[in-house]
Structure 1
Amino acid sequence: MNFNHELNQVVEQMSSKETLINEISGIGASCIAEINGMFFLLIEIEIGNLERVFVIRISAALAAQLLSSGVELCEIVNRIPTSTPGTEVNLICAFVVGENVFLVFNIENDTDELILVRVPLCTIIEL
């Protein structure tokens, strides 16, 4: 299985009228997250000067195929990463699964990777 071919197929399927496939200047970091028994493919797509992360829910079978072709598991942590000399940390977006929000950070140094920070949702009490 060719990972780049698989990514291109996913991008073609998810491209909308406002974002044509021709406008994509590159595919950055990607990883697979397993959360509450569900699998999510995170892909950083560069469109001109913008970097967007798309989160796509995928099947366990597709996750297994992508993992065997070289996509790595997302690192899920409980602390916000900090910048250090030579390392840039950028908050890209957030998504909700169950009782948690997952903040998606892009970490750029010699490599380009996505890190997820798990943050519990607050309980709202009506008085």
Structure 2
Amino acid sequence: MKSSSISSGQNQGSPPNRAPHKSFALGGPTTKLDPRTTAFRADLADVRLADHVFAPHYAAPMAMTVKRSGFLRATSDKNGETLAEIMPGAVFEALDFAGDSAWGIAVDLGLVGYVDRNMIDFAVADA
């Protein structure tokens, strides 16, 4: 008589024996961060926030110089809410580029938002 895996006590569909998982816990209260001043979105966050927010992707900011004045907006839409005007020479830390927009931090203003890509110089700014 052949022995089957069922009669031998083995379950063919179960994973191999593994060491027990180490447990972990999230601690402390959730900190509510302001997206106008903290560079995080549902899909991306500034890598400097990795200890504070969970995101599927993190980006290291690239410091760039604003070459012509323009507006920092809340969305990538050119008709979106204007947060501030950015002047030439200011530093913009870019985190994402999509279409005609760049998303990042207007360092001097301490605000996060979108600018037109042609406003910033792709040469890295002196930080």
Give the TM-score normalised by structure 1. 0.28
Between Structure 1 and Structure 2, which shows a larger proportion of helix residues?
A: 1
Between Structure 1 and Structure 2, which shows a larger proportion of strand residues?
A: 1
Q: Which has the larger radius of gyration?
A: 2
Give the TM-score normalised by structure 2. 0.28
